[in-house]
Amino acid sequence: MNIRLFLFFLMFTTRLFSQNYTLREAPIRDEYNTYLICSAPFVDNNKFVWYSTNREGDFYRFDGKNKLRFSYYTGKNDHYDSSYISNYSWLQDSENNIWALKQNRVYIIKRKPPGYVVERILLERESIDRTVGIGMDKLKNIWISNGSRYLIRIDGKQQITKVSHPRLKQGKKSIQIFKTLQDGRLLAKSGYDIYFIDENGLNYFGNLQSIDKEMNAEFQFIENGKIFKENDSGVYRYNGKPFRYLYIKELNIQVFNRPYANIAPSYGYSDNKTVMYNDATVFIVNRNDIYINRFNKQKGEITTTDTLSFKTPVAINFSRQNPDFIWISTHDKLYKMLVSPNNFDKILQFKNSQLSTRTMVSDTKKNLYIGTYEGLYVVRNTNKKAEEVFIKNDKKGVFDAMYLEKNDHILWGYDEYGSLKRVDLSTRIKTSFKMPDETGQVTFVKEKGDSELWVGTTHGLYVFNTKTEQFHELKGTNNELKGIQFQHILQARDGRWWLATNKGLFFRDKRGDFLNYSVTNPDFKNKNILTLLEDEKGNLWIGTDGDGVLFLDLKTGHLKNYNVRDGLSNAIICGILESKNAFWFSTYYGLSRLDKKTDTFTVYFKEDGLPDNEFNLRSYYKAEDGIFYFGGLNGVVAFDPEKIQLPKENPYKIFLIEATYFSEKKNKNIKDCLCESESTDVINLPYNRNYFSATFTINELFYQESNTYYYKIDGLTNGWNDAGTSGKIELYSLPPGDYVVQVRGKDFKGTVTVNEKRIYLHVRQIFYKTPLFIGSITVLILFLIIYFFLRKINTQRKVFEREKEIAELKSSALRAQMNPHFLFNILSNLQSVLILKGEMEANKYFGAFSKLLRLTIEMSRQELVALETEIEYIKNYILLNNLQLNETIDYTVEVDSSIKNKAEILLPVMIVQPFVENAIIHGLSSKKDKKLEIRFSVENDYLIISVQDNGIGRDASALLKKNSKRVYKSLATEIVNERMKIINDSYKNTMSIEIIDLFESGISLGTKVIIKFKML
């Protein structure tokens, strides 16, 4: 077969033998890009495609939707027209630099953040011909052929060296670099001479004609065993004509004569004039034509099966990583062609209409009957062609939920008018049986037993007797089946019937009752069940409406769910079939294959050869010969599951193409080309320029418009956000903080990219909210608070010291007042002693007085005095007064055991004496029986002083004072009260005085004074 296709349209898909070819135009043209393409396409390691234009030093990289331009600017508008499509030969070196070679110059496109730079090296040439070639040896040197009798070597420092060989200098042919061997050596040829380049430089291998005289000068290199039998030499036939091929053992390579004598020499290292797809297909380019050839390795035959013709000359290339994807360039357009295995046969395909297939059954002769909404069709086993079955009284009628009796004559199905119909295929006559009211649509018809059929509907389950032609509804023991929507019925190998309903999974037990499976297995909570399959091990596979597929081990009750997240193409399951190595699921979007060994999914869509992506419920069938049939909105797809060619693993990656943000260093918005970068450097954004945008792409370039992108921002978003198909993510008004933006993608089949891109962002805080500023202000405020606090404390301390000074002065003044008062009383007593008692008593009195006076002088200089000194002072004072009263006072001074050291306890000076004085003068002086008790003790850190007398009491003393002719004003108590006030002001309420009048039966027994002083 030789088909010639002329391409004047955007996309086409054709099927040739076991291959599908889909051709699409790449969207590289816009109103601003009118230049001509003047190179073969080049596919880099990232699977992006490069091409040059007819403007000198002008290159583009295309990632499926974005074009990046790289130009070497010379200051001239260097436009030119070229009739050669292959003016450049390409190479990507070990540093991922792109080399574009022309005869007298080579351009190097290098990554230089934030973008790329284009460098140029001018080359000398002899201009023997226009061939060019470029390659890299194991030492990373670049080797160039440019139509000369020598090669040009460029080392890592871009030092240029001409390398030739004596045989080249003697000849008139140029040398051309052709291929890289598996061991890293470069292959070159000059006429019949073969050369190779290794670490020792350029080496001559031999003359091909001397090895085999039947080889011509336009021979082609090819990998050993790629097309021809491995390690073999011989003859292959192209469209019946013989051509020679030869195996060269020392180079482990095969060479062959070209089948097209009129093909121009191959330009470029990428060998873009002849491309081998796989073991069965060869693509050959001849100017405007691409010949697609079928190769039979066993027979050694190549046959042209198809020719693609273009308006202008073409060049082709492919990625070694993905040879299924072929790029085609013409002068004005860039095409992409996807070659995929043709796994599927399509049935009921029409040019102007589509048939929605609803159900399928097969007879004993393996003829397949297909029910549709527009009639009944049959695929004869003899010719595998579909033809319509005309029913006399049911033209173009609805055929759904069919069942074919074993006699091959009677076909049961659903009629669109609420009836069950029986069709006699021998007479082509239909008979209808009216369904009970409110039964809804029939969903399945299944043999139950002799003369009985199961009839499932959207409003109940019925049994139809074919003899009595009567319907009987099964409601269940407790009406649990009434009104339920039934979708599928299955009889397992153990005899149990299983029912798929919109209320869950039911089964019929041994007693004949129908039970909801969730009662026996509470873990089973799925409700809307669509289809069922029992596998070869007795497990149940359950297709649901929205929950994917459930695997149920009936022995253990173990459940496992498969959903879209696991690789299933869609969560609504229409049909399930089992093959030797896999389970197959037709869905509302695509066909899914679950591998039994790897437990992984492979999905198939319209792009893979399906007639449509959407399948129908109950429209699937497994024939006796193992062929699978799945029906959908556009006919039926048929295939042998054991002969399916699984797609090669070709994982896709996501790339960051360009980022736009405000650069603080450059003080402007910049575009940063980051596609090669895996940096963890942080991009700093100012608080008032807190936006960031980035463009991403997936290196699946054929269905690029269907790829989707997702992102999440740690600390800002919950989960993955759908960014759509544009690949552009824009972030505005980012709050201050640190962020990690993660981006990933999915190809058109929903396969997640093998990598994620991470971008590290830091948005600066406004200066007055930064930790440094806040910390500085906090420190300043604390400093001011401490400063003013200390200043206030200092001021208060000064005030306190002044007040204390004043208090001490007042206290001193009061003590000074007490001293004359005390001396006045003593001198008065001394006068009385001299007059009344004589000289001897006066001397005794003077001795006590001198001790007391000495203590008074010493104590008057102190604010506080030791308890020991105060007690001595009190004893001397009482002694003087007792002498005056003829020693009639019976007194005691007692120190409690709670006081351990009298010298360590301090109290205000002369604080007790006034109360002792009052007790003697005002209480005891007029009594015969005079008792005075003074007691010192410590309780709860307080010094407690008790002064108790048995005098006449304060009331009687006041009355005597009132009747006395001599008016005596006591200043002692008044002075003590003033001193107590000053002490309490100075030491915060450390002193208190309590005066208690002692009575018994209304008779005064004396006075008791209690002085409490907090020990200092």
Q: Give pLDDT tens digits for 72-118.
A: 876 655 555 555 555 688 999 999 999 999 888 999 999 887 778 99
Mean pLDDT in residue range 908-936: 85
The residue ranking higher by pLDDT, 654 or 285, is 654
> Rounded CA gap, 340 and 18, in Å?
9
Mean pLDDT in residue range 916-932: 84
Beta pairing class for 301-309 and 89-92: unpaired
| pLDDT score of 272 | 41
Question: How many Cβ atoms from other residues are within 10 Å of residue 925's Cβ?
Answer: 18
Contacts of 874 (CB under 8 A, 6+ apart): 893, 912, 913, 916, 934
Nearest to 243 by CA among 261, 231, 257: 257
For the chain, percent of residues with pLDDT exceeding 90 = 37
Nearest to 162 by CA among 176, 180, 148, 181: 148
Q: What is the pLDDT of residues 562-617, one digit of tens each?
A: 999 888 999 999 999 999 999 999 999 999 999 999 999 999 998 888 999 999 99
| pLDDT score of 22 | 84
Give 181's Cβ-side CA count (13 Å radius): 18
Which of these ranges, 132-141, 355-364, 532-541, 987-996, has the smallest mean pLDDT?
A: 987-996
Q: What is the pLDDT of residues 197-254, one digit of tens each?
A: 999 999 999 999 999 988 888 888 888 888 888 999 999 988 888 999 999 999 999 9
| pLDDT score of 64 | 85
Asked if the model's pLDDT at residue 774 lies above 90, the reply is no
375, 356 Cβ separation under 8 angstroms: no
> Rounded CA gap, 807 and 978, in Å?
10
> Rounded CA gap, 179 and 89, in Å?
12
Average pLDDT, the chain: 84
Q: What is the pLDDT of residues 420-479, one digit of tens each?
A: 999 999 999 999 999 888 888 899 999 988 899 999 999 999 999 999 999 999 988 788
| pLDDT score of 246 | 94
For the chain, percent of residues with pLDDT exceeding 70 = 88
| pLDDT score of 227 | 82
Model confidence, pTM:
0.69
Q: What is the pLDDT of residues 580-589, one digit of tens each?
A: 999 999 999 9
| pLDDT score of 837 | 63
Which of these ranges, 180-194, 573-587, 668-682, has the smallest mean pLDDT?
A: 668-682
684, 666 Cβ separation under 8 angstroms: no
Mean pLDDT in residue range 507-514: 82
Asked if the model's pLDDT at residue 796 lies above 90, the reply is no
208, 192 Cβ separation under 8 angstroms: yes
Confidence of residue 814 (pLDDT cuts 50, 70, 90): very low
232, 255 Cβ separation under 8 angstroms: no
Asked if the model's pLDDT at residue 42 lies above 80, the reply is yes
Mean pLDDT in residue range 350-364: 90
H/E element holding 335? strand 334-341
The token pair at 1011 is 């002085």
Contacts of 176 (CB under 8 A, 6+ apart): 131, 132, 133, 145, 188, 189, 190
| pLDDT score of 829 | 65
| pLDDT score of 267 | 34
- What contacts 24+ positions apart, CB below 8 Å, involve 227-233? 227/276, 227/279, 227/282, 227/295, 227/297, 228/254, 228/256, 228/297, 228/300, 229/297, 229/300
Mean pLDDT in residue range 299-305: 85
Mean pLDDT in residue range 175-196: 91
| pLDDT score of 485 | 93
| pLDDT score of 964 | 64
Mean pLDDT in residue range 639-665: 85
Q: What is the pLDDT of residues 253-289, one digit of tens each?
A: 999 887 765 443 333 333 344 555 555 678 888 888 8
108, 95 Cβ separation under 8 angstroms: no
Q: What is the CA radius of gyration of the chain?
A: 57
Confidence of residue 154 (pLDDT cuts 50, 70, 90): very high
Beta pairing class for 281-286 and 151-154: unpaired
Give 365's Cβ-side CA count (13 Å radius): 12
| pLDDT score of 823 | 60
